[in-house]
Amino acid sequence: MKTINKLLLITAIGVMVIGCAAAELTAGGKKIRILEPSEVSSCKKIGRTNTSVTDNIVGVKRPIETIERELENIARNSASNMGGDTIVPLTIIEGGKRSFTVYKCVNPDG
């Protein structure tokens, strides 16, 4: 039984480390803004990005603040890869998933 508990603990720690590394902002992601829908009326819509992270580890719920930050980081990195400069949350966080709309607000026509 002790071996199984150790294996579960090691697996949980591994998942947390991998999850944290995957949610780090890239250089491009650091430049992406997070705005509200009312703030992007003059921006060009580029597309949508769907994000997901683990919302519990070994049956223990992760803090919603951590999940939200990781989802935003992933969306910001994705927006940078898409040529956008701004993201707007499109859905609520559910099951560790959230969608964002990607916009280009700075020089949207160029």
Q: What is the pLDDT of residue 80?
A: 97
Query: What is the distance between the alpha carbons of residues 56 and 60, in angstroms, rounded to a whole number?
Result: 5
Domain extents for the chain? 2-104
pLDDT less than 70: residues of the chain: 1-22, 110
- pLDDT tens-digit series, residues 45-66: 999 999 999 999 888 999 999 9
- Alpha-carbon span 57 to 110, nearest angstrom: 44
Q: Does domain 2-104 have CATH number 3.30.1660.10?
A: yes
